[in-house]
Amino acid sequence: MANAVDLNDAKSLPVQIVLDTMLDGLITIDKHGTIQTFNLAAVRIFQYLPEEVIGKNVKILMPDPYHSEHDQYLKNYLTSHEKKVIGIGRQVSAQKKDGTVFPIELGVNEMEVSGTKMFVGTIRDISERVIADEAKHSYLEQLQRSNQELDDFAYIASHDLKEPLRGLSNNALFLEEDYADQLDESGKKRIQRMRFLCDRMEKLVDDLLYFSRLGRQDLAIQNTDINIIIKDIEIMMETTLIQNNARIIIPKALPNIICDVPRITEVFRNLITNAVKYNDKPNKTVEIGIITPQKTASKLEKHPITFYVKDNGIGIENIFFEDVFRIFKRLNDEEDNIKGTGVGLTFVKKIIERHNGKIWLESELGVGTTFYFTLQQFRTKEQTSE
């Protein structure tokens, strides 16, 4: 058996002092697997004192199957030089003095000291990391189950829940048509109201389903010219803009950004629609622009681009600044023919958050409202591979 390192030896003492300053456990063994050195970090990890392990086989620190297989592995390596751990490193199980088995990250390298083959092992206790990984894995499994439950709910809502609504609406229509001569104006209005409420309920269900999916579907990001998005919305809303004597103003060209085009289109369309809808001025304006990062003395500050959509409409009271983003929350009484479901700004907020941005507003009653929002820059696959 090779002699263990004498910690009292004057020549070996400086080396041992260096070893004891290491944060990771460090153990050296000879070709027979006998422990030669055992630093303070190894003492902390394994709870053995150096004198309890030096001169003993390193498998004392191993649970089965590593304990039983170690000697044979060492013999096989010395004969064939086939590496399974040496120079590679991997996660294995270790065993403390009290018998506790725990995970470690083990790195083993070969060295030669005064013509004698030695092996040095570095050990890192990764118990906390493994626990965190297991918790993360458990959370992801729970999230996957939750998403599946949401998908199941979507199926039930889109089929089982909407089916009776359609049946109720159709029966109201049949009643209105088949018994028209037996119904007075009040009865006809009640049936029409019933059909309206059925249609509205179906729309609410659709909006709720869309909202539930917004946070789970992947973004289809691409390089996008925001000017083209606004132009397309302007064409789509041409009749509404003309009927309401409204116009869209863009003080300066808007930038290109990496984003999900359909969803960002929905953001601008919702904000523009609201700017026109909640406006009592004879000449309605919707201004769309950006606030660019300010230059400092040394460099351009790296902040996300801030967009704004500003109107000259009726304004919003400060106490309602948070309420406007709540699902199904409407602040104004509206006629049935223009009444929304109260989800537009909820969708807007969700989409912006999916783009790692945020949204807020400033408003003055009777003067108008400005919505501000940031969109964090993404990278396309092509940019990522560069």
Report the alpha-carbon distance of residue 195 to residue 189 in Å, rounded: 10
Tally DSSP H helices, then E strands, for the chain. 12, 12
CB contact at 8 A, 96 and 46: yes
pLDDT tens digits for range 124-168: 999 999 999 999 988 888 877 876 776 777 767 666 777 788 888
212 class by beta-carbon count within 10 Å (0-12 exposed, 13-18 middle, 19+ buried): middle
Q: pLDDT: is 190 or 382 the higher one? A: 190
CB contact at 8 A, 27 and 123: yes
Each residue of 127-153: b (16+ CB within 10 Å) or e? eeeeeeeeeeeeeeeeeeeeeeeeeee
Report the alpha-carbon distance of residue 14 to residue 135 in Å, rounded: 42
Q: Is 171 helix (H, G, I), strand (E, B) or coil?
A: helix
Confidence check: pLDDT of 79 > 80: no
Assigned token pair, 59: 């498998």
pLDDT tens digits for range 307-360: 999 999 999 998 888 888 886 555 555 444 444 445 778 889 988 988 889 999
Report the alpha-carbon distance of residue 270 to residue 275 in Å, rounded: 9
Average pLDDT value for residue range 21-42: 91
Cα dihedral 86, 88, 94, 97 sign: positive
Closest CA to 62 of 35, 94, 36: 94
Confidence check: pLDDT of 252 > 70: yes
Work out whether strand 25-30 and strand 284-291 pair parallel, antiparallel, or are unpaired.
Answer: unpaired
Whole-model pTM: value is 0.53
Report the alpha-carbon distance of residue 181 to residue 216 in Å, rounded: 51
Confidence check: pLDDT of 204 > 80: no
Which domains can be identified in the chain, with CATH numbers? 13-125 (3.30.450.20), 131-214 (1.10.287), 221-385 (3.30.565.10)
